[in-house]
Structures are given as C-alpha cells and as structure tokens.
Chains A and B, each alone.
Chain A
C-alpha cells in the first residue's frame, strides 16, 4: 500500500458517519412518542386503581420538552456538517428523516393505542385496532409514502437508483412466484388461505436485502 493510499483510507475513516444525522431525529421523535405513551399508560393505570391521574397536559409537555432538548443537542452537534452538504444530499437525508418520523409516529401511536396487556405478536399482527388509529395510520402510510417517494426519487444518485430498481424487481418476483402457488394450493385444500400481509412482508424483506446488497456491498 502506498503512502497516498494509506492517507486516503485514513481520511475516509475520520469522516463522521451519516447514520447519526438521521438516526438522532428518528430517535427523538420515537422517544417523544414513547414518553407520551408512558404518561397515558400511567394515567390509565392510576384511573384503574382509583387514584387521581396526572394533569392532561403533563404528558404532551414532557414529550415536547424532551423533543426540544433533543433537537437542541442535535442542531448543536450536526449543524456545521449539515451546512457543508450539497442541496441534493440535504434533501436526501431530510427525505429519509421524514420517512423515519412517519414510521416513528405510526409505531408510537400503535403502542399508545393498545388496550391493556397485549403481546408483541398480537399488537403487530392479529390484535384489533381502534378505527381512529386504523384510519390515521392508513392515511399516514399512503400520504407519507407518496410524498417520501417523490422526494426520494428526485434526490437519489444513479447508483442508488439502480439499486432501488433491481430491489423493486426482486421484491416483485418475491410476490408473483409464491402468491399464485399459495392460492391454487389453498383452492385444492392443500394450504391455509393466502395471507396477504405475509406475502407483503416477504416481498419487503427481499426488496430490502437486495437494495442493501447493491448499495453497500
């Protein structure tokens, strides 16, 4: 290895990672949502035990204070790095942060929406949801995905676009191969009814694995 190559590799190693840039905002949003859920759960438990609940504004105030503190920390740490980036790169990470925040809100809302004691599988897969959450989550998913994808496709570079397209094809194959097979087997009473969410998850996992392989290998 030449001196130049070693120096170049060292420069790459010193470069601060970008994961914190998106990871912290997502963590702040999720932390605020969990704090809100914690206060709501405490109040519900207090009511169930015949005790007086905390004031209604206590949870939102604590969540807002947490978010403000987290945001101040984040801006202090990442503002200089953020300013050095190109507009395309800033829009790219903003888009990922936006999608992560939507996911955090839906996830936090799902946790808050759960009645009483419920296992993880029941919460994520089979348990009943309130109509308010179902409508809200459906709207957030549809609108968030549409807006996020528009910005995503306008900000990714050639390399990532190629990864995205091949990952999309792989995800599609992961759906069109098993879905009809499962369906005809079920019609012959050889398999249980086709589970659309299972097929969706399989397609999503294949899509994510191929995207990460092509992007980061």
Chain B
C-alpha cells in the first residue's frame, strides 16, 4: 500500500463552510472519497490532487505534505 500523506483538506473545507458531500459534488467524487482523503486513509490520484488544487486555488504541496517540508530527498 502507498505511504499516506498529511493534508489540509478538512481545514480548507471548513474555511469555506462546505460539507463533505458538497466538496464531493464539486470534485465529482463520492463523499466516502473525501472522507477517506481527509482522514488519511487514502491518497488521491494525481488528477484528483490537481483538481483539488484548482478548486482551492492552491498548489498541490500546499494541500498535501509528504513530511519532507517541500524539500527533495537529496537536499
């Protein structure tokens, strides 16, 4: 299984006062998918991550954190 990324989805959603179902409708995915991402049980695909970025007007790394603080492993 994949390593799970930390994310700001719940905070970003709450800031807009959206329910999980509303966010799911905006992303055209199921509510369970939003819940699974928020609770760290599932990492979205790259297309869905980009969709999230466009929806919130943020870069992907501003929503998701792989624990490296935006730095490459080589740095």
Contacts and interface: CB of A to CB of B under 8 A. Distances in A.
Given A2-B14, A5-B14, A11-B22, A159 B28 contact: no
B54 interface: no
24 contacts: A4-B17, A5-B14, A8-B13, A8-B14, A8-B17, A8-B18, A8-B20, A9-B19, A11-B19, A12-B21, A12-B31, A15-B21, A157-B28, A157-B29, A157-B33, A157-B48, A158-B33, A159-B32, A159-B33, A159-B37, A162-B42, A215-B32, A216-B32, A217-B41
A168 to B, nearest CB: 15
Contacts of B25: 86
Q: Place the interface of chain A in its size category.
A: 20 to 34
Interface of B: 13-15, 17-22, 25, 28-33, 36-37, 41-42, 44-45, 47-48
A32 to B, nearest CB: 30
A5 B38 CA distance: 13
A157 B30 contact: yes
A187 interface: no
Interface of A: 2, 4-5, 7-9, 11-12, 15, 86, 88-89, 157-160, 162, 215-217
In terms of DSSP, what is the predominant structure of the interface of chain B?
A: helix
Counting chain B CB atoms within 10 Å of each CB, the highest count among A9, A15, A158, A162 belongs to A158
B31 to A, nearest CB: 8
B20 to A, nearest CB: 6
Contacts of A159: 29-30, 32-33, 36-37, 42, 44
Given A8-B20, A157-B30, A160-B33, 17 more contacts: A4-B17, A8-B13, A8-B14, A11-B21, A12-B20, A12-B21, A15-B21, A86-B28, A88-B28, A89-B28, A157-B28, A158-B33, A158-B47, A159-B29, A159-B30, A159-B32, A160-B30
B54 to A, nearest CB: 16
Given A2-B14, A5-B14, A8-B14, A158 B29 contact: yes
A90 to B, nearest CB: 11
